[in-house]
Amino acid sequence: MNRLEVAANGFATASILLATRNNIHSWWTTIVGCSLFALLFFEARLYADVTLQFFFIVISAIGWWMWLKGDAGAPLPIRHAPPSLLPAMGLIGLVIGLGYGALLHSFTNAYAPFVDSAVLVLSVIGQLLLMRRMYETWFVWLAVNIIAVPLYLSRGLQLTALLYAFYLLSNIYALAVWRREMRRGKGV
């Protein structure tokens, strides 16, 4: 564990906790945390995770704007994903994950390229759902964290693995908070 890992996890934890509480400040803390994680994952040869951090930086800026502006100037409510969206995203994600994993396996010295790619693809899906304030985002994040914990442990990133285990608990909490807010009509 080094200072970079501690700082990256500090910002990421703040971001996750803010997102579980449906707080807009989750977006800028994500941008800072992801910038630090990009450096950390590069050092650990988790190149799909580096790519993912750059995606998160861009998408977080867009998500921040979307949460501020919403639909026609009104903040976005929490809602369910359309029934056809999740299977389509899952199929596309599977194809992209296998393809990216194959590229990393063939052309880099990446560690666990297919597992790393699964974290990338599921995280992209989770983030896209989060941007649109779709309740199912938290089920996707549960899957990400279940895969990421052993991956990060295997690379000696104990603090990161511990915090991703904590994120599992925060995902369960977020499911309850978002469900309650959605039922109350307080999706903002």
What is the Cα–Cα distance from 88 to 79, expressed in whole angstroms?
A: 18
pLDDT band at 72 (very low <50, low <70, confident <90, very high): low
Q: Hey, which residues does 79 pair with through a beta bridge?
A: 134
Q: Is residue 161 part of a domain?
A: yes
* Terminal C-alpha separation, the chain: 37
Which of these ranges, 72-81, 108-117, 136-145, 161-170, has the smallest mean pLDDT? 72-81
> Tens of pLDDT along 101-160?
999 999 999 899 999 999 999 999 998 998 888 999 999 999 999 999 999 999 998 988
Q: Is residue 64 part of a domain?
A: yes
Q: Which two tokens stand for residue 23?
A: 């707080």
Give the number of domains in the chain.
1
What is residue 148's predicted lDDT score, i.e. its pLDDT?
95
- Domain range enclosing 128: 3-72+82-184
What is residue 132's predicted lDDT score, i.e. its pLDDT?
86
Is it the case that residue 187 has pLDDT exceeding 60?
Answer: no
Q: Is residue 77 part of a domain?
A: no
Query: How many other CB atoms are there within 10 angstroms of residue 103's CB atom?
Result: 15
What is residue 73's predicted lDDT score, i.e. its pLDDT?
64
Choose among 183, 155, 182, 184: nearest CA to 76. Answer: 182
What is residue 185's predicted lDDT score, i.e. its pLDDT?
77
Q: Is residue 99 part of a domain?
A: yes
Q: Is residue 53 part of a domain?
A: yes
Is it the case that residue 11 has pLDDT exceeding 80?
Answer: yes
With beta carbons less than 8 A apart as the criterion, state whether 129 and 150 touch: no
Share of the chain above pLDDT 70, in %: 95
Q: Is residue 122 part of a domain?
A: yes
What is residue 67's predicted lDDT score, i.e. its pLDDT?
80
Q: Is residue 29 part of a domain?
A: yes
Instruction: Output the pTM of the full model.
Output: 0.81
Q: Is residue 24 part of a domain?
A: yes
Q: Classify 79 as helix, strand or coil.
A: strand
